[in-house]
Amino acid sequence: MAPNVNNKNPYKTREGGCTCTVFVPYDCNNNCPFCVNKKEYADTSKFSAEKIIESIKTIDEITPLCDFVFTGGEPLANLASLQKMLDAVPTTHKIYINTTFPIQPNISGEEMLAFVEKNKSKITCINISRHIRPFVEESPDELVANIPTKKRVNCVLYRNYDKIDKLYDYVKRWGRYQIPIQFRYDYTETTPENLYDEEHDLILQDLMNHFTYIGLDGCRMRNGFHFKYYMEEIGKWERMTYHKTLPYSTIEEKDPESGITYNILYDILIKQNGDFHSDWDNTPLDIDRYRKVVFEPYDLKFLYKNEKEWLD
Ligand code: SF4
């Protein structure tokens, strides 16, 4: 939670409801050095798909239009369980799946593609983690290219990232398949002061110097610097984004008209045992208070747009 937030304040969120991230009740069997979720997957004894499904239904009652994100662990490591959870989400919601699209002994790549094909009317986008230096055994790029839904590759860039020559290789690797790329700043380093800072962000400077900057959208919590680049191999312009987000999902703010101090929620979580949390640091969500959540217009706005480049 953001520093100095009083967890007793009434909740406010954007119209439609904040995003609900669901932690699947089974592990990924990887050990990425930067993983922040791994500890929770060490003891699976209290994990329950049934409790998660009950919690999904509760969130649907309160905000029938919110987005759901399935993450882990590894959502695709247990397709039967994931199917039950996807089936519990009514079609009013958008569903996103964060995955490594893994190599796994008991489920083939073709089975994962068939699963996505079967559920493609439910899934809005699949976000595949692919880092410049791989930490897991990666399934072939062609398999990722064959995912039959909208898809995107996510790549975290740390301050000591592998500099622009490696970025070029990475961009070409996915551009040839026309798969959008989201580079992500290390969120543990993001602060309200550096969220929009352009001058001292060396990654952003590199991207601005080597690719065509076309727009910026953002809100109090996160933003996206949008770029395009020309893929000679296929004769097309492709898009990529540099995304920054604060390391918490609740901001305390006083409403200037009513004088009431609210906790503005951007993400809520359903944990592996079905518990509700209001932030990434184990802060519990008071579900009865959330039933009375106040809505405000979504503050995500275009802050800069180069119309000509954007429309090309
Ligand atoms: S694959 Fe994802 S959940 Fe698994 S260890 Fe790596 S970062 Fe963590």
Domains defined along the chain, listed by start = 11-311 (3.20.20)
Residue 153 CA, chain-centre distance (Å), reads 11
* pLDDT attached to residue 45: 94
Q: Residue 74 C-alpha to ligand 1 middle, in angstroms? A: 7
* pLDDT attached to residue 183: 96
Residues of the chain with pLDDT under 70: 1, 162
Question: Which residues are within 8 A (CB) of 250 and not within 5 positions of it... i.e. 6 or more apart?
Answer: 1, 2, 5, 263, 264, 265, 266, 278, 279, 283
User: Pick from 46, 104, 45: which is nearest to 75 by CA?
Assistant: 104
* pLDDT attached to residue 3: 75
Query: Considering the chain, what is the average pLDDT of its residues?
Result: 94
* pLDDT attached to residue 311: 72
Residue 109 φ then ψ, to 5°: -60, -40
Q: Residue 84 C-alpha to ligand 1 middle, in angstroms? A: 22
- Reported pTM: 0.96
User: Is any ligand 1 atom within 6 A of the Cβ of residue 17?
Assistant: no
Q: Residue 164 C-alpha to ligand 1 middle, in angstroms? A: 25
User: Is any ligand 1 atom within 6 A of the Cβ of residue 37?
Assistant: yes
CA distances from 64 to 20, 22, 89, 267, 284 (A): 11, 16, 9, 15, 21
Closest residue (by CA) to atom 2 of ligand 1?
Answer: 73
**Among residues of the chain, what percentage have pLDDT more than 70?**
99
User: Is any ligand 1 atom within 6 A of the Cβ of residue 156?
Assistant: no
By most ligand atoms within 8 Å of CB, the mutation choice from 100, 138, 184 for ligand 1 is: 100
